[in-house]
Every structure is written in structure tokens, then in C-alpha cells.
Chain A
Amino acid sequence: MTGFLSIRNLSVVLAGTPHRLLRSVSLDLPAGEVHGLVGESGAGKSMIGKAILGILPRAIEIAEGEILLDGQDLLQLPPAERRRLVGKTAALIPQDPLTALNPSRRIGPQITDRLVDILGWKRAQAEARAVELLAEVHIPDAPRVMRSYPHELSGGMRQRILIASAFAAEPKLIVADEPTTALDVTVQKQILRLIAEMQSRHGTAILFVTHDLGVVSKVCRSLSVLYGGKVVEETEVRAFFRGPKHAYSAALLAATPKYTDPDTSLTPVPAEVIAAVQAEVEAADGEWRHVR
């Protein structure tokens, strides 16, 4: 089955070196599905989202593979056309709501710019839409917030604004890159609830990057577990939490603390599991390089 987003054998390297940061990643995302990308830091989970959106750092380049968005291979398109297509069909909810907003500009234009620049809307039309969106993400007094600067708002409010902004152009795909990691638990719950609500209302497909398996179990329908730039397990959420198939995924789940378990003994991923998964990744395609 080919999804609405379909990634085929995507490999990403550190420019000018054979160091692979993503190793032949394949992934299918049906329209309207929420898919989790999990793994430890450095596993390459954010890299996949960045490759799709075309925002990889300069020093990192795509070595091979295809990224099909709505049937079109993004990597075959000329840069300008690619940007236009991605700008229309995809959006990002970033991790840190403070650095993602320009501190010296008011909120309003930061939401409306993309509507005006990418979709060619009239400024007034874009502003009306922005007010509507802010109401949709439960921000009271939207016109006042549009005139505010980012520092005048709380972390939760800023994240709501970024969610509104991501949904503004009615994208079919959103990459949510650890959207709640910087927030405390009660705010995290509100934000996840909001993302779920917006997702089902707009029918958007979401690639949800996180290291928190608890979050995955709440918002995703399927997930991929990454290690060393390779997908070691791709499965449905329910099947995964009933019993992960791969030894590494099982170890990762065992390392996740659970407050309902009175004598939770935390087991770090055992060294032999790491050695085994490294060997597996290595055997699959050439030499293993520890990139951290």
C-alpha cells in the first residue's frame, strides 16, 4: 500500500562523508493518520521530518531515496517548486515555542505571513482567518493576542499559537517535532488534547516525533522505532504496547518509568541489546559509525 506520504529507502549523510545519519528508511503514512517516530537522541527521528520539509542543516545531504508527497517525488522537483509544494501541503509544529517565534515581531503577522506569501491571500482575509484559528485553539481575546509580542505570553499559549499557525494553510501533513517536551505535564496534556482535536477536525496526517512512549500511546495509531538512523520496528500502537517484537523496542519500553508501578525498577537498555541492534544495523548496510 502506498500512503499519502511515502518514503522509500531514504538515506541521509553528513555532506562529503560516508557517515549515514538515516539508513534506507521506508515509511508509509496514510492520509489522516498519526504516526509516532521514537528513539533515543541521535537516532534520526527529527531528521526524517526535516528531510521531508526540506529544512536539513547545510552540512547534511540526502544520498538516495524518494520522498513521495501526494504522489510527487519531492527530491526530483526543482527547489522553488519543491518549496511551493511543501509550503502548501505540509507544516511544522516545532519543539521550542520560544525560539520558533520571532521575539521582535507581533504574533499576528507571524501567523498571516505564510498565508499571504505562500497561498497569495489578501492581508485582511489572512487576518480574519488568523483570529478564527486562535479561537479554534482556545485562545481568548484573539485580536489582543495578535497584537502581542511572544514574551508577553506563557509557554502553553505560545505553543497554541504555533499549532494554530501550523494548521492555518490547511496542510495535509504536519510534522510535530517534540511539541510538548518543553512544557510541564498539565500543560502538555492540554496541548496534546488540542493537537488531537485539531487533527480529527481537519483530518491532517501527523508525523509525531517524540522520545516519550507515554505520549505515543495516547496520540498515535502507529509508530516506528529508530536506532542509529534505521527503523528497527514499524507497527500499530496497540500491538506495540501489548508486546514489542524487536528486542531493542522492548528494552526501550522497559526503561520508561511508570508511576502506577510501586516498585518500578528502571532498567537502562542493556549493553547486549545495544550491541545486537548495532550489529543488525551494521549488517544491513555496511559499517556502523557512532554518530552522537
Chain B
Amino acid sequence: MSADAPLYQVRDLRLSLPDMTSKPLFGPRPRIEILKGLSFDIPKGEVVGIVGGSGSGKSTLGRTLIRLLDPSGGQVIFDGTDISHLHEDALRPMRRRFQMIFQDPMSSLNPRRTVSAIIAAPLKLQGFDRVRERAAEALDHVGLSRSFATRYPHELSGGQRQRVGIARAIATRPDFILADEIVSGLDVSSQAQVLNLLEQLVADLNLTLAFISHDLSVIRRLCTRIIVLRHGEIVENALTPELFGAPQADYTRELLDAIPLPDPDQVWI
């Protein structure tokens, strides 16, 4: 694979699920299309923002990229390998290379395990050596002192918990990280800290990042490219300055107009 080939090539990606609200007398349930044939690339080192309203398919898309969900059609090519239908045995060693940070750190960190054990879990699964040391290094990277290693999630503040989630994601030195609404539960000050940290890590660790959010202010700050989703389709895919400078799709403009700026003079309601 040449150096400038994109990390991800997504072609006509489809995903459908059975419609649980319909119960036909005969035959299978009709299927609902969640992702309707998406195609795009994610170049190495890029920070891609995925935005859209609730139910637009942004989380589903993210989870399909790291094969937490199986697509029903199309291809997801990660660094030259089509992972869309790869068997779990073949996928397992590749999972080291794409990791995820979750929205709610409280429910995604095991309350009964110490911070150190939480960060070490993916390292052990992937058969790393020097597990303790690597976990401690991950703590250094996210700006938490090593004394946090023996603490439990409930002893930490929201911002600190999210740092632990980030430490776990970077511990295996992945190429790609999916961050799904990771700052929406935090107040503005912790949000600013986590975003600054993420930006630092992208630069220091050569990461490619997909950042899912419904907050375009946050996206503008962090992302180089933005994909706007609506009803499982891409309505706009543009570089950040272009999208904010001259949004092409009506829906993008609608999203932008809906953001309440901290300014009482903005005509809004």
C-alpha cells in the first residue's frame, strides 16, 4: 500500500435491519435501510467529522467502519484490506489498529475494575508484552498522573473518566480511532480540555480520527473534513473551511442555523 493511499475506502456501504414494528402474518419482516449506499475515503492523518440529526445513521456508520456492525452490502477497505465481510478470526489481529472512544464513560468503563486494568484489557486481548508499562504510558499521554492507575471509575470526574476512555483507545497504538459523541456529556470547560487533548494526540501519535457529533461548533474546531448525514445518505462531504464558508446542501444550512450562538443579537428564534 502506498503511503498516500487513503486509510479507509468505503464503497456503496449498505446496512439494513429488520423492521421490528411490523409483524407480517407470513414471511420475513420487511427491512429498514439504515445506510443507503455510502461512498467516501478517509485519507491518513485526517480528522473527519460525521454530523447529522438523531437517527441519521452516524453511529451506525461509525460502528460499521470498525466492524462492530456487519454491513449488508458494499465494501469497507481498511489500509488495502476489505474488512466488510472478514471472518472474526482474521479480524481479531486487525482490531489493534482501529479502536473506539465511547459517549458515556460511566457506562463504558467497568465499575469493578481499576483504571489500570481497564486500560490493560485491550493490550492483554491483543497479546502485548509489558502490559503494565504500556498502560502507564497511555495514562501519561492523556495527562493523568500514574497514581490514577489504582483508582476506580466512580472516584473520577466526568472529564477524567473520558480521559481513561481515551487512554484505553490509544493503548494499542492504533492507526484509527472512532470517537462517538465523546464530549456531549461534558460541560464546556471539560469539553475544551478533552478536545485539546484529542488534537494533541492526533498529532503526536499519527492518528486518523472519525469524530461523530451533532455539535458543529465542536466539529469546526477539530475536524479537517466533514461528512453530513441525513436519513442514511451523505448530503455533503467537504473540507471544513468549504463547508462553513459555503454550505452546499440545504440540510447543512439548516443544521448551522439551528445552533444557538452565545450572542443575544443573533437572529435565531
Contact = CB atoms under 8 A, between A and B. Distances in A.
Nearest to A241: B264
A40 to B, nearest CB: 4
Interface string A91-122: 00000000000000000000000000000000
A157 to B, nearest CB: 12
A258 B263 CA distance: 10
A215 B263 CA distance: 9
B71 to A, nearest CB: 24
Interface string B178-191: 00000000111111
A15 to B, nearest CB: 20
B258 A257 contact: no
A184 B214 contact: yes
B217 A264 contact: yes
A55 B89 CA distance: 53
A256 interface: yes
A237 B261 CA distance: 13
B269 A192 contact: yes
Contacts, number: 115
Nearest to B156: A292
A209 to B, nearest CB: 13
Contact of A217 (B220, B255, B262): B262
A214 B262 contact: yes
Interface residues of A, number: 41
Nearest to A197: B269
A272 to B, nearest CB: 13
Interface-central residue, B195, B196, B260, B268, by most chain A CB under 10 Å: B260
Interface in B157-196: 157-158, 186-193, 195-196
B230 to A, nearest CB: 10
A56 interface: no
A155 interface: yes
Give the interface SS of chain B, mostly helix, strand, loop or mixed: helix
A70 interface: no
B187 A211 contact: yes
Interface in B211-269: 214-221, 241, 244, 254-264, 266, 268-269
Contact of B188 (A255, A260, A292): A255
Given A241-B263, A259-B259, A292 B157 contact: yes
B53 interface: yes
Interface in A161-193: 183-189, 192-193
Contacts of A251: 189
Given A259-B244, A262-B244, A218 B188 contact: no
Nearest to B254: A186
B193 A259 contact: no
Contact of B189 (A40, A186, A212, A259): A40
18 contacts: A41-B158, A184-B54, A184-B214, A188-B258, A189-B260, A192-B260, A196-B269, A211-B188, A217-B264, A218-B268, A219-B269, A252-B189, A255-B188, A258-B262, A259-B220, A259-B259, A259-B261, A292-B157
Given A213-B262, A218-B266, 16 more contacts: A155-B54, A184-B214, A185-B255, A189-B260, A192-B260, A193-B269, A217-B262, A217-B266, A241-B263, A252-B188, A255-B189, A256-B188, A258-B263, A266-B195, A266-B221, A268-B193
Interface of A: 40-41, 155, 183-189, 192-193, 196, 211-219, 237-238, 241, 251-253, 255-260, 262, 264, 266-269, 292
Interface of B: 53-54, 157-158, 186-193, 195-196, 214-221, 241, 244, 254-264, 266, 268-269
